[in-house]
Structure 1
Amino acid sequence: MAVDQHLSPADLHILMAEPSGVQRRIISNELYASQIQMIDEADSVATTLLQAQRNTPDLIISALHFADGSAMDLLHQLRADTQTAEIPFMLISSETRQQQLEQFKQSGVIAILPKPFKPDDLTTAIRATLDLLTQSELSLEYYEPDQLRVLIVDDSNMARKLIRRVLSGLGIENFTEAEDGSAAMTELTEKEFDLVVTDYNMPQVNGLELTEFIRSSAQHAHLPILMVSSEANQAHLQNISRAGVNALTDKPFEPDTIRQILTRILG
């Protein structure tokens, strides 16, 4: 779908991957109630990949388990194909174990909905998809968005791609990427930045340690830091806040949330 500044749910084309016919009907009814009419269905990883290649959807809504694989298998194969790599992905699952859901949070999904989900949960996820597909430049008093120099730090390539896509939709064009805090420290010693967007859980140097490094540096102490994290440990969150991040948001995140945060911390 071409980028449009006036998309509505009725404009969306959804591909629903769900092995259960009963669950497909339930989800379809909720999508129809949200004014979405263009819904394709698939019952396996293989048929989902085939349909996504034949008729690229605006969003894939997927169950966790299929007879021929998992949602993670599906997601990895989608991201490996240039034709389907950028399709937003939503997981609907009854899985509650954080360890199992963590891999999806780190992979750049647009939303994770419980099964059964509430209509409001679906509405929020659909709105996030529309935000992702819609170009709407940030309005800042002291910065031109296309001049902002942003350092994105995340050990997940897929998560970095989603963050970059969201920021690009806000009119930001100048990016440097680092795969962990150690690589980010090197970038910070060599370049100037206006904003750091970082994950928390990373090898070698995590987001907390990176934040402490930045705040203790005379050169970068003022640098705004947005941490995008799936970290649920309350003690860790308190440590992150005390270290000096300017804002903290969950994974997965809503693009409109990022817009509001950046408007606040960049003035």
Structure 2
Amino acid sequence: MNSLDESELSILLVEPSSVQLKIIMRELRQAGVEKIDGVHDGAQAIVAMQKYPPDLVISAMYLPDMTATELLASIRCLDNLENTHFMLISSESNIETLEPLRQSGVVAILPKPFAHANLQRAIRTTLQHIDPAEIELQNYEVDQLEVLLVDDSLVSRNHLCRVFQNMGINQIHQAENGIEAIEKLKQQTFDLVVTDLNMPKMDGQALVEHIRSEMGNTFVPILVVTSEQNQTRLGQVEQAGVSAILDKPFEPQSIREILYRVLDERT
């Protein structure tokens, strides 16, 4: 249960359209959010954030002076703001355009127009990120769990590290691709492997297949975290022996439920 609620959440809304700004503000207030500031472009957003750091930035994709991707990249470079939570509300549907935002750990990507229920869910996800509860497992001491995190994106690895650390998991080892991950797996035993799917040199599917077949390791839980939408590809990953697949962006509660299942409910 989160001790922080919607009324305490401070949000900076970045939307070039005055009409859309008013509409989204109204929806946020209906969701219980009371502290909302609005600006119309990226430069104004950065100035506002440096003066009054928000809990969450909600932005349109295309601003007068930059895109949401560029705004988020700028925020990630600012001291004390690099971990700011970010949500996109946009009619953009191009997978390649949205991919950098998914990799950066946005809390949600909502379409325009969005359903109010989806906005409420995204707000709850933000609260889970800000005020997380440590996970408790029956079969493991959480602070002793050894996790191998495999992702070619440093931004994505950093985001996942924060999520796990907020749950009380601190023994996190990192690899940039499947080949590097295999070397680490040869050197020590891990309680959990978390991998991206699309990576250079050796992707997540090949890594899963190597762990299960070549290394003969059928017991270590493997979680794939991906923005892949191709159901055929995802089916192939499942056949390779993955324990669970989680979409980007994800809710912390989703990872929590998966960890319960793959770590506590295994026989």
- What's the TM-score, normalizing by structure 2? 0.95
1:3-25 alpha-carbon deviations (Å, 9 max, x no partner): x9411111100011111111110
> Aligned equivalents of 1:217 and 1:55: distance in 2?
53
Say whether the 8 Å CA contact 2:227–2:247 is kept in structure 1: yes
Counterpart residue identity of residue 85, structure 2? P
Q: Percent identity?
A: 45
**Which of these residues, 191, 205, 208, is aligned with residue 208 of structure 1?**
205
How many Å apart are 1:186 and its aligned residue?
1.9
Cα RMSD (Å) of the superposition?
Answer: 1.3
1:201-246 alpha-carbon deviations (Å, 9 max, x no partner): 1111110011111112546431101111111111111110000110
Say whether the 8 Å CA contact 2:2–2:127 is kept in structure 1: no
1:96 corresponds in structure 2 to 93
- For the pair 1:197 / 2:194, whether they are aligned, the reply is yes
1:126-153 alpha-carbon deviations (Å, 9 max, x no partner): 1111111113111211101111111111
Counterpart residue identity of residue 48, structure 1? A
- For the pair 1:147 / 2:136, whether they are aligned, the reply is no
1:146-172 alpha-carbon deviations (Å, 9 max, x no partner): 111111111111211221111112111
Say whether the 8 Å CA contact 2:205–2:240 is kept in structure 1: yes
- For the pair 1:128 / 2:143, whether they are aligned, the reply is no
User: What's the secondary structure of 2:193's corresponding residue?
Assistant: strand
- For the pair 1:164 / 2:161, whether they are aligned, the reply is yes
2:108 corresponds in structure 1 to 111
The runs of 5 or more residues in structure 2 that have no matched partner are none
> Aligned equivalents of 1:29 and 1:35: distance in 2?
10
- What's the TM-score, normalizing by structure 1? 0.95
The runs of 5 or more residues in structure 1 that have no matched partner are none
Question: In terms of mean alpha carbon deviation, does 219-228 or 105-114 score higher?
Answer: 219-228
1:53 corresponds in structure 2 to 50
> Aligned equivalents of 2:30 and 2:134: distance in 1?
30
- Kindly tell me the number of residue pairs found equivalent between the two proteins: 264
> Aligned equivalents of 1:82 and 1:197: distance in 2?
28
- For the pair 1:32 / 2:33, whether they are aligned, the reply is no
1:251 corresponds in structure 2 to 248
Counterpart residue identity of residue 229, structure 2? A
> Aligned equivalents of 2:137 and 2:214: distance in 1?
26
Counterpart residue identity of residue 247, structure 1? A
1:176-218 alpha-carbon deviations (Å, 9 max, x no partner): 1112222212221222211111110111111001111111254
Say whether the 8 Å CA contact 1:135–1:171 is kept in structure 2: no
How many Å apart are 1:80 and its aligned residue?
1.1
Counterpart residue identity of residue 219, structure 2? H
Q: Which runs of 4+ in 1 moved over 4 A?
A: none
